Structures are given as structure tokens and as C-alpha cells.
């Protein structure tokens, strides 16, 4: 009787261990091309009624608000209106950090509703906000605060790449690393 119980337990353990799956590592996941996952596409997906902080109730509202604030910041940045861009990048990050507190992963195919997938990149958007805020600060002659922003950006882009390998994130990471590398002498 004891021998049959031991054999049954051993069989159960062997079967169970054979059924366990492991989560794919970053190197196992395919690289998402820039044509599929990029800022313009994310912004386009989140267009519509503007989400104000006081009206945001659900995580998806905060995500949309963060993306919308980022779109405004990008416009101000391109127009070289750096102080306004900095405020908008900060506003965007405030929205996105709320999202990040609930959902830490980035995904090229995040299911928002049944049958509705969106590009969902809170980590990457925060990283890009810090990158651009640093570039704006550098243009304003504030090198030290710019470097602090880039260091913050690097941690978020690395988190993004842990969840989803995208050409967009790799490009942001390379730019941040080049900005943080010591100048050649």
C-alpha cells in the first residue's frame, strides 16, 4: 500500500513538472517593428475626447490622458517652447504613473475590451517623456537636471524591454545611453 502511494505520488510529481510552462524571456519574444509600435500610432489610438485629471476614473482614462498630454508636449517641444513642454511631459507622467501603479507591463497587443487591442506602453511613454524633458532642459542650459531625467528614463525603458521588445524602445534606450555616456576626449 505504501509503495503504491509513493509510486502514485512520484507519477503525479513527474506529470506535474512536465506540464509546467515557463514564461518566455525577452530574448525569446520577437522584436516588434517600428511600423507597428510607435508614438504616432499610440497617439492616434488615444485621440478623442480629452481626458482631464479630475474626470479620469479608470486606468484606461489615465492612460488616454497620459498619451494626450504627451502629444501636446511633443508639439510644444517641436516648437521649441521648452518650459511649456516640460510641464506637459510632467502632466503626462502623472497620468501614466497612476496606470503603472496598477499595470506594470508594456504590450503591443493589450486587450482593452473584448476584441479591442491597443498599443499599451506606459513604461516606454514615461521613458520617452523623461528623455525629451532632459533634452529640453539641456537646450535651456540645465545639463545636470537633464542627466537626472535621462537616468530616470533609462530605468523605465529597461522595464519596457523586459515586457515587450520593440524597435521603438531599443531606439530610445540607445539614445539615452549615448546621452549618458561620458564625452570622448
Domain residue spans of the chain:
26-180
CA distance 64 to 70: 10
**Highest CATH level, class, for 26-180:** mainly alpha
Quick: pLDDT tens for 84-114. 999 999 999 999 999 999 999 999 988 877 7
Confidence of residue 11 (pLDDT cuts 50, 70, 90): very low
pTM: 0.81
Q: Is the pLDDT of residue 72 over 50?
A: yes
Enter the C-alpha cell of residue 58.
479608470
User: How many secondary structure helices (H) and strands (E) does the chain include?
Assistant: 7, 2
Q: Is the pLDDT of residue 117 over 50?
A: yes
Amino acid at each position: 500500500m505504501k509503495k503504491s502511494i509513493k509510486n502514485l505520488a512520484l507519477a503525479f510529481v513527474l506529470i506535474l513538472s512536465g506540464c509546467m510552462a515557463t514564461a518566455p524571456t525577452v530574448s525569446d519574444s520577437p522584436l516588434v517593428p517600428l511600423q507597428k509600435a510607435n508614438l504616432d500610432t499610440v497617439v492616434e489610438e488615444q485621440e478623442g475626447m480629452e481626458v482631464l485629471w479630475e474626470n479620469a476614473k479608470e486606468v484606461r482614462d489615465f492612460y488616454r490622458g497620459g498619451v494626450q498630454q504627451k502629444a501636446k508636449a511633443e508639439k510644444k517641444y517641436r516648437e521649441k517652447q521648452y518650459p511649456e513642454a516640460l510641464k506637459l511631459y510632467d502632466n503626462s507622467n502623472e497620468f501614466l504613473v497612476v496606470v503603472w501603479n496598477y499595470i506594470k507591463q508594456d504590450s503591443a497587443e493589450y486587450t482593452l475590451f473584448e476584441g479591442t487591442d491597443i498599443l499599451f506602453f506606459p513604461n516606454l511613454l514615461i521613458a520617452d517623456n523623461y528623455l525629451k524633458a532632459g533634452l529640453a532642459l539641456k537646450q535651456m542650459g540645465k545639463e545636470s537636471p537633464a542627466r537626472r531625467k535621462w537616468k530616470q528614463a533609462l530605468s523605465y525603458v529597461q522595464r519596457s524591454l523586459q515586457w515587450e521588445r520593440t524597435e521603438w524602445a531599443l531606439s530610445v534606450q540607445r539614445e539615452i545611453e549615448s546621452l549618458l555616456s561620458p564625452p570622448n576626449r
